Copies of this chain bind each other. A is one copy, B any other.
Amino acid sequence: MADGPGSQGHGGELLLYLTDEQLRQGIEAMFFAYRAFTADPDRILQGLHYGRAHHRAIHFINIAPGTTVNNLLSILGVTKQSLNRVLRTLIEDGLVESKVGRADKRERHLHLTEAGAALEHQLSEAQRARMRAAYRQAGPEAVAGFRRVLEAMMDPEMRRHYSGLREARG
């Protein structure tokens, strides 16, 4: 591994020279960027007696309408008790609808109501606005790299749930 810092590891042949300092900067960048990334929806949710957990549930129900509780559980990586607490309030407040499964009546299929979809859109638009601004500022090549690093950082288990891989990767 006599490669300099500019070595190309794209094919996986040559190794990158990565100092602890470079890695540390990446770690801090993740910390600060993620905080900013969640700040906008948090601001909207605060005062509505909702939190980040509700946002996540709403997000994934919107992505996969009709998903079951069990499926949502495995995506979110929390216990059913934790999810249930969140889901119950969303259903009570009329943002989420829970329908008994046709094929398997044990399952509950989750959908957003109109009100739920409206909140989802408000939340995701706030997040998209920041993402859009960052993408524009960084440029298309940077965006591709950003996505590549994040995908490589995920647990393989979670990569299954990540919809980005099912399309637009070629």
**Is there an interface contact between A161 and B10, defined as CB atoms closer than 8 Å?**
no
Cβ–Cβ contact A10 & B139, under 8 A: yes
A63 and B63 CA atoms in complex are apart in Å by: 39
Given contacts A32-B161, A146-B149, contact A27 B135 (CB under 8 A): no
Flag if B135 contacts A26 (CB, 8 Å). Answer: yes
Copies of this chain assembled into the complex: 2
Q: Pull 7 A–B residue pairs with CB atoms less than 8 Å apart, ordered by A.
A: A20-B128, A23-B127, A23-B135, A30-B34, A33-B149, A130-B153, A146-B150
Chain A residues engaging chain B, CB cutoff 8 angstroms? 1, 4-10, 12, 15-16, 18, 20-37, 39, 56, 63, 77, 124, 127-128, 130-155, 158-159, 161-164, 168
